[in-house]
Structure 1
């Protein structure tokens, strides 16, 4: 009996995950990726103008990302992520005020809640809010949360002068790539449940020790080929072939037809919309108005210095448009040359994404000086700077987004969807992408 073939369109993390799990279910995956690499937005590129390999954006994992960790284990790259034993973040509130947060080895939620309550530079109103927070959080039903923004949710919990600036806004932007005024309270609560209210060891951050291409795309391609899957790069899908209410194959952009017993579309919304435009009946089969989804941008600064910034952990810059700074793991040649690399991130960069390179560099220099008292070139010896704008980094994760997210199933019985934005119950993160691929593959008979 021939092994049934499933065509998976899209070689990002969701597509890789779908292919891995399809293999386990006895299917032959044919993975199509229109670019020259796997990994999707979690990719690395060589920037010729600065002579360095950079990531498309700063991707931070959580030790609580169980689905992602299992996927990396299968791909053989799990050891390339360095997880904090406990959550550790430095918060800077200007040049001279800072707060080093470290979770405690206590049962949840005490491991996160107590050090915040007792160690953070909070007002009496903030502490009152935190004392009430565990019980208040449990008093609001998920159905209610789905209709609230983060700002509306926190307002219902009472006044807390500093906490929105110190915790909620940086956390919301970092995990949902959406501002508090727009972000879904339900999705932020899922972040808290998964990443911060699990065990003390599960709330630590996971920082890749290698470029993202070596974490997902390259090992993903090797693993799939070794297991007998077909991986075709530079091959995009132009449309689907439908007969008698079922999908029978995929038309590629090169005019080829690839037959299949099932298809998984592991695509971002804009790419899925293009296929809907060329495949009659597909938009209706999705059952959700995906054309209403809005993209949310992220800007990442990659920069290298002769003299290091005084960072002790991933650092949040409070009340700054540049919200986070991370160290780039040093390659051997950089360590030998005493070059120190960093990434700085602007999430939900709706305004800044329209800035010119010169305006963005001025912004970065101003914020570094304001928070560290050092000038990038004169004091820190700026060696190289690369700015990456990802205009469609994620979807805008608002309460309306929850109503539009499609499930992995469609109105066509052998057509499935995957992607971080698909309804997995999680925010649109790497973890959601990995989970969506597994959920789609589990719908395959076998």
Structure 2
């Protein structure tokens, strides 16, 4: 059976490799870094701290990633299963009930604290509008347009829809694609309590899936070459030669599973994918900033994840995660700032101070000075999920060369689930080609 090379050991590349290895295909994964996970990985420094480069929320609806976790032997305890809870201290508490749809949301709204009857009816109105339209919105509609169309209240906009949009799509409501947002709501909030559950990792993002995936590959003759950059892809007789591959043999099938901003140059190096490379290079991106505050023992948030009223330089964060309640050190808080915003004008030290002060104000109490703090900026964390963005398919103009990643065309925004689904789709297409005798 032909061998397959996968370039990139992030969630997409490893999902593809695991599926291929499961089918008996010999896979070699090339990874430039010595850390697995791509843009969802652990970061550590001098053995002093070990944190993720960002916080990722999984939903119960994200079935492919949870399936692969089970396949690779990951314990279910590595994910905290929490009912969908929107808790903004002192302002809002809304928790979905453990009931079938739509009762889980209706009962949750009845029990909610901080919402008026007008707010409750507006939320139901939006969900009913989406259901009546089969979760299809007019082309080009933004999330802000959807909120206006369904007459949402200012309080819901501020405390529910804007934070949910920026958490799911990493794009502000004024620019975010309402169709993708509707897809997320369709498969989570509208699908029942289990589908809308929040699955929060209890371990770092490299240990959650990439490391177990590497172990899975090792038991099935798969190879993982870390610290091995591939600089170019050369079409040759029998497939592709990879510049940087110490083996030097041609590969009949190659999966390009790097971040999009690395994919363009590798596609261009083939001499036959210039248009696709230009399309990928033109994709807009949004940043994610994570401020880690080690507040010490005895410090905890009211929930593992809380909402913060943010979006300004003085109050930049939209969410805070209590890593101490999720298997990490007690008192370690991660404040997340999604998408572009006023915070980008602040120096790093001022941004850390602003996040600390924001937590104090919104929790309504003084907090100790951090024992240590760290700010991690992913400047191109995800693509900007705007209407009209053209996301590429897994196929390229060259038979046998495939694309995988969270930026690939999908119903979902650029999430871990999107990345994994693209990798699984690549593996299925490669296996079909092999079985049909196409080889390359």
TM-score (norm 2): 0.90
Summarize the Cα distance change of 1:309–1:143 in structure 2 as closer, same or farther, 3 Å threshold: closer
Does the CA contact (< 8 Å) of 2:135 and 2:186 recur in 1?
no
Q: Which residue does 1:411 correspond to in 2?
A: 397
Q: Which residue does 1:374 correspond to in 2?
A: 365
Summarize the Cα distance change of 1:432–1:5 in structure 2 as closer, same or farther, 3 Å threshold: same
Report the secondary structure of 2:371's partner residue. Answer: strand
Does the CA contact (< 8 Å) of 2:272 and 2:398 recur in 1?
no
Out of 143, 146, 149, the position equivalent to 1:156 is 149
Summarize the Cα distance change of 1:112–1:12 in structure 2 as closer, same or farther, 3 Å threshold: same
Out of 233, 243, 246, the position equivalent to 1:240 is 233
Summarize the Cα distance change of 1:197–1:73 in structure 2 as closer, same or farther, 3 Å threshold: same
- Give how far 1:300 is off: 0.6
- Give how far 1:124 is off: 4.8
Listed one character per residue, the Cα deviations across residues 307-338 of structure 1 (whole Å, up to 9, x for unaligned) are 4144234100124421111111479995xxxx
- Give how far 1:194 is off: 2.0
Cα distance in 1 between the residues matched to 2:411 and 2:286: 19
Cα distance in 2 between the residues matched to 1:302 and 1:39: 20
In the alignment, structure 1 residue 342 sits paired with structure 2 residue 333:
yes
Listed one character per residue, the Cα deviations across residues 108-152 of structure 1 (whole Å, up to 9, x for unaligned) are 133124423552423454334234333311343666444211001
Identify the range of structure 1 (171-180 vs 325-334) with the bigger mean alpha-carbon deviation. 325-334
Identify the range of structure 1 (5-14 vs 206-215) with the bigger mean alpha-carbon deviation. 206-215
Does the CA contact (< 8 Å) of 1:249 and 1:257 recur in 2?
no
Q: How many residues align?
A: 427
Summarize the Cα distance change of 1:257–1:111 in structure 2 as closer, same or farther, 3 Å threshold: same
In the alignment, structure 1 residue 38 sits paired with structure 2 residue 26:
no
Q: Which residue does 1:325 correspond to in 2?
A: 320
Out of 83, 86, 89, the position equivalent to 2:86 is 89
Q: Which residue does 1:289 correspond to in 2?
A: 279
Summarize the Cα distance change of 1:233–1:333 in structure 2 as closer, same or farther, 3 Å threshold: closer
Identify the range of structure 1 (427-436 vs 274-283) with the bigger mean alpha-carbon deviation. 274-283
Out of 87, 107, 116, the position equivalent to 2:109 is 116
Cα distance in 2 between the residues matched to 1:80 and 1:317: 27
Does the CA contact (< 8 Å) of 1:172 and 1:179 recur in 2?
yes
Summarize the Cα distance change of 1:333–1:349 in structure 2 as closer, same or farther, 3 Å threshold: closer
In the alignment, structure 1 residue 392 sits paired with structure 2 residue 380:
yes
Out of 120, 125, 137, the position equivalent to 1:127 is 120
In the alignment, structure 1 residue 167 sits paired with structure 2 residue 160:
yes
Summarize the Cα distance change of 1:416–1:146 in structure 2 as closer, same or farther, 3 Å threshold: farther
In the alignment, structure 1 residue 362 sits paired with structure 2 residue 362:
no
Cα distance in 1 between the residues matched to 2:342 and 2:246: 40
Cα distance in 2 between the residues matched to 1:45 and 1:432: 23
- Give how far 1:14 is off: 0.3
In the alignment, structure 1 residue 201 sits paired with structure 2 residue 194:
yes
Q: Which residue does 1:278 correspond to in 2?
A: 269
Identify the range of structure 1 (314-323 vs 67-76) with the bigger mean alpha-carbon deviation. 314-323
Q: Which residue does 2:16 correspond to in 1?
A: 18
- Give how far 1:87 is off: 1.8
- Give how far 1:230 is off: 1.4
- Give how far 1:65 is off: 1.3
Summarize the Cα distance change of 1:86–1:185 in structure 2 as closer, same or farther, 3 Å threshold: same
Report the secondary structure of 1:400's partner residue. Answer: coil
- Give how far 1:54 is off: 1.0
Does the CA contact (< 8 Å) of 1:80 and 1:210 recur in 2?
no
Structure 1: give runs of 5+ residues left out of the alignment: none
